[in-house]
Amino acid sequence: MTQTFDNYNYFDGDTIISLEELEIAKGKFKTVKTAEIVSDRENLIIPGFIDLQIYGAGGRLFSAEPTVESLEIIEDDLLKKGTTGFLACIATNTPEVFNACITAAKEHKRIAKNCLGLHLEGPFLNAKRRGAHVSEFIRKATLDEIKALLDFGDGVIKMMTIAPELQDEKVIQYLLDNGVVVSLGHSDASFEQATAAYNLGIQTTTHLFNAMSPIHHRGPGIPTAVFNHGKAMASIIADGNHVDFEVIKFSQKLLKERMFLITDAVTECSSGPYQHRLLGDKFVMPDGTLSGSSLTMLQAVKNCVNHCNIDLSDAIKMSSLYPARLIGEDGFKGKIGAGYQADFLVLDKELSLKEVIFNGEVFHN
Query: Which residues are annotated as catalytic?
Result: 264
Give dist(CA 306, CA 342) in Å, integer: 28
Q: How far apart are CA 83 and CA 351, in angstroms?
A: 15
- The number of helices, as runs of H, and strands, as runs of E, in the chain is 10, 20
SS3 at position 49? strand
Exposed/middle/buried for 178, CB within 10 Å: 0-12, 13-18, 19+? middle
Give the whole-angstrom CA distance, residue 116 versus residue 131: 26
Amino acid in position 89: C
CA dist., res. 189 & res. 309, Å (int): 31
DSSP state of 257: G
Q: Note the helical H segments in 109-203.
A: 143-153, 169-177, 191-200
d(CA 283, CA 293): 6
